[in-house]
Structure formats: C-alpha cells, structure tokens
C-alpha cells in the first residue's frame, strides 16, 4: 500500500497492518527479553480451559513497560516503526508515554485505549480545532498457529459522529454488554458480528487510532506483545499523556529515566512541551472494583 492508501485505511477503518516490521532476529531478541522480565517461558504458557479464564495459566503484563526497561528503548527509536508512523500522520511525531508489555496476556473485551471511552463524549471526539493525531503501535512476536491469537477491531468505531445515530448507540451498548460478560465466557467477544479479526505473525505490527473499539481473542498458546504510542503534539496529545501518567495511578506510570529523555531528544521524539494536569473532562476510569484487581496485578484496564 502507498502512503495515500495507508492514510485512507487509517481514516476509514481506524487501523493498518504492517507485516514483518521487526525482522526474525529482533523478534527473537525481544522474546528473550520479555521471558527474562516476566519469568515466564513459552513452554509454560499453557491453557487450563477453565470457564471464564482470561489469558493463560501464566500471564504477565506491565503498563509503561517499554519506557521502564532500557532493553525496549530501541523500539521507540526503531526506524521501521518510525517510518510507518510518519507515513500515517506526518513527519513531526513525538513519543507518547503510553506503552505496555504482555506475555501470555490477551486483552479479551471490547474496549478503547483513549481517554474518553464513551463514544462521542469528551475532547478526544472534538476535532474542529485540533485533529486527533495519536497512534498506538502493537507489535506481536508469536505466530497465529502457536497462539490462536487475533486482534479484533470494529472498523470505523474511532470516527466522531454528531449527533450519534441510534444505530451507533445500540452497537456501543451491545459491545459494552459483550465486553462485560467476558468474565463468564471468554469466546463471547467473537460474536461481535461486524468485527474484523487480524491474525498476527512474528514481527507484525498493527497501528491504530486509540479511539477504535478492539479486543484480543481467546488464546491457547504463547503470546508476546509490545505496545507503544506516538503522536503529533496538540491538546489531544497532552490529554493522553496526562491521562496515563496521572489520571490512572493504578497503572503505575512513572517519570521517564533521564537517559531515555536524552535518547528521545537526540531522535527528535521528545515532546516540546509537557503541560501537567490531572483533570480531563469525561476521562474514563475503571470502576473501583476493577481498580483493586488491577492493583493486585491480575488484570489491567
Ligand atoms: O491482547 C492484545 O494484544 C491487545 C492489547 C490491548 O488492547 C491493550 O493492551 O490495550
Ligand atoms: Fe487496547
């Protein structure tokens, strides 16, 4: 696909797939790094097939993980990643501190990754003054054959629509209900009839608008994923930054290491400004109960 087609897909559907963005050596390197960090080896990642169990027997995830561990910083400055992101939103990109590392973990439930998760409500959905130019980059290291993993998207669910149509409201409510019931029956997510499911192979990257509704699938074997974010600086970018750093304390985001700040600076990826605030209109926060579960490390939101 050329740049115009990629941009069109991002605009219309809300996501784009880049096959083989990491080469096999890089895939192997990051797999080993994640196994070391998590203490989980591929062979231990087995599925118990217990009703309602999300992820595998052994699963691990670390919000802010790419930022926290220097081993993963080369992903932030990775040429292929940078080129892909620049194709989509232009040259002037900055690193946005919203990252995750997952081993044996699949985010099984329809959700959004942005600040304002109710469709149409809040500043994320207002683009008259400033365009929303944030991208989430998900990089996968396992094959579909070994994991059964696919990432599902509801195409177009990232696109603001005013007024919100009754059909759209109904769809949002349906997916919310299916998402909530993932605790009862993990394969339920796959009933979302208009979803597009992407099976990933080692080194593939999926780049998407964080406002899109997406869900991981039920997995039956090793899964390794690394998530990063980039954007163009404007109010949406600063909201997103403050959201993960300050509005979601249970995710344990921290200040970036001075060496990382330097690295970002030398690659022209350091945001030029960083206004600090901890109130964002209509920001989604997990229900208190879920917050407690997240804090004890069983599930992240
Ligand atoms: O399971 C996955 O790979 C998707 C992860 C995801 O959606 C998230 O971490 O927000
Ligand atoms: Fe997500």
How much distance in Å is there from the Cα of 212 to the middle of ligand 2? 9
Q: Please state the atom number of ligand 1 nearest to the C-alpha of residue 214.
A: 7
DSSP string, 265-279: HHTT-S-S-----S-
Structure-block tokens of residue 186: 């993990």
Q: Is 219 close to ligand 1, i.e. is its CB under 6 Å away?
A: no
Q: Please state the atom number of ligand 1 nearest to the C-alpha of residue 105.
A: 1
Environment class of 184 (CB within 10 Å of its CB; exposed 0-12, middle 13-18, buried 19+) = exposed
Q: Is 224 close to ligand 1, i.e. is its CB under 6 Å away?
A: no
Closest CA to 226 of 262, 246, 202: 202
What's the confidence (pLDDT) of residue 296? Answer: 61
Q: 175: which residues sit within 8 A by CB, 6+ positions away?
A: 110, 154, 192, 213
Torsion of CA 283, 284, 289, 292, to 10 degrees: -70
Q: Is 153 close to ligand 1, i.e. is its CB under 6 Å away?
A: no
CA distance 39 to 55: 16
Q: Is 294 close to ligand 1, i.e. is its CB under 6 Å away?
A: no
Ligand number nearest to the C-alpha of 209: 2
Q: Is 198 close to ligand 1, i.e. is its CB under 6 Å away?
A: no
User: Cβ distance 132 to 197 under 8 Å?
Assistant: no
Per-residue pLDDT tens digits of the chain, which is 301 residues long: 788 999 999 999 999 999 999 999 999 999 999 999 999 887 777 655 544 455 556 789 999 999 999 999 999 999 999 999 999 999 999 999 999 999 998 888 889 999 999 999 999 999 999 999 999 999 999 999 999 999 999 999 999 998 999 999 998 998 888 777 766 666 777 776 689 999 999 999 999 999 999 999 988 889 999 999 999 999 999 999 999 999 999 999 999 999 999 999 999 999 999 999 999 999 999 887 566 666 665 444 4
How much distance in Å is there from the Cα of 27 to the middle of ligand 1? 18
Go through 188-220 and write b for each residue having 16 or more CB atoms within 10 A of its CB, e for each that does not.
bbbebeebeebebebbbbbbbbbbbbbbbbbbe
What's the confidence (pLDDT) of residue 300? Answer: 45
| DSSP 8-state class, residue 244 | I
pTM of the predicted model as reported, rounded to 2 decimal places: 0.93
Q: Is 75 close to ligand 1, i.e. is its CB under 6 Å away?
A: no
Right CATH number for 3-291 from 3.10.580.10, 2.40.50.140, 1.10.10.60, 2.60.120.620?
2.60.120.620
What's the confidence (pLDDT) of residue 231? Answer: 98
CA distance 214 to 237: 20
How much distance in Å is there from the Cα of 40 to the middle of ligand 1? 18
What's the confidence (pLDDT) of residue 51? Answer: 43
Q: Is 107 close to ligand 1, i.e. is its CB under 6 Å away?
A: yes
What's the confidence (pLDDT) of residue 57? Answer: 63
Residue with tokens 């083989």: 20
User: Cβ distance 26 to 203 under 8 Å?
Assistant: yes
How much distance in Å is there from the Cα of 155 to the middle of ligand 2? 14
Environment class of 186 (CB within 10 Å of its CB; exposed 0-12, middle 13-18, buried 19+) = buried
How much distance in Å is there from the Cα of 102 to the middle of ligand 1? 8
What's the confidence (pLDDT) of residue 52? Answer: 45
């Amino acid at each position: 696909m050329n740049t115009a087609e990629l941009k069109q897909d991002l605009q219309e559907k809300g996501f784009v797939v880049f096959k083989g963005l990491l080469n096999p050596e890089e895939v192997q390197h990051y797999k080993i790094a994640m196994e070391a960090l998590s203490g989980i080896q591929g062979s231990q990642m087995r599925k118990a097939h217990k009703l309602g169990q999300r992820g595998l027997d052994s699963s691990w995830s670390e919000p802010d993980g790419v930022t926290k561990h220097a081993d993963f910083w080369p992903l932030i400055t990775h040429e292929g990643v940078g080129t892909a992101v620049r194709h989509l939103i232009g040259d002037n990109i900055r690193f946005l501190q919203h990252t995750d590392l997952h081993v044996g973990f699949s985010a099984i439930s329809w959700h959004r990754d942005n600040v304002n998760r109710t469709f149409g409500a809040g500043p994320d959905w207002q683009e008259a003054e400033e365009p929303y130019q944030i991208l989430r980059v998900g990089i996968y290291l396992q094959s579909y054959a070994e994991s059964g993993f696919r990432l599902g998207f509801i195409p177009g669910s990232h696109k603001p629509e005013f007024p919100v149509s009754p059909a759209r409201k109904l769809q949002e409510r349906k997916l919310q209900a299916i998402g909530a019931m993932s605790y009862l029956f993990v394969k339920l997510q796959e009933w979302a009839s208009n979803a597009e499911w992407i099976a990933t192979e080692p080194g593939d990257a999926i780049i998407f608008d964080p406002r899109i509704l997406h869900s991981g699938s039920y997995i039956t074997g090793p899964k390794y994923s690394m998530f990063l974010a980039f954007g163009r600086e404007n109010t949406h970018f600063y909201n997103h930054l403050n959201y993960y750093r300050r509005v979601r304390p249970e995710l344990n985001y921290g200040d970036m290491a001075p060496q990382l700040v330097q690295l970002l600076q030398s690659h022209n990826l350091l945001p030029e400004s960083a206004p600090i605030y901890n109130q964002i209109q209509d920001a989604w926060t997990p229900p208190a109960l879920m917050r407690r579960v997240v804090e004890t490390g069983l599930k992240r939101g």
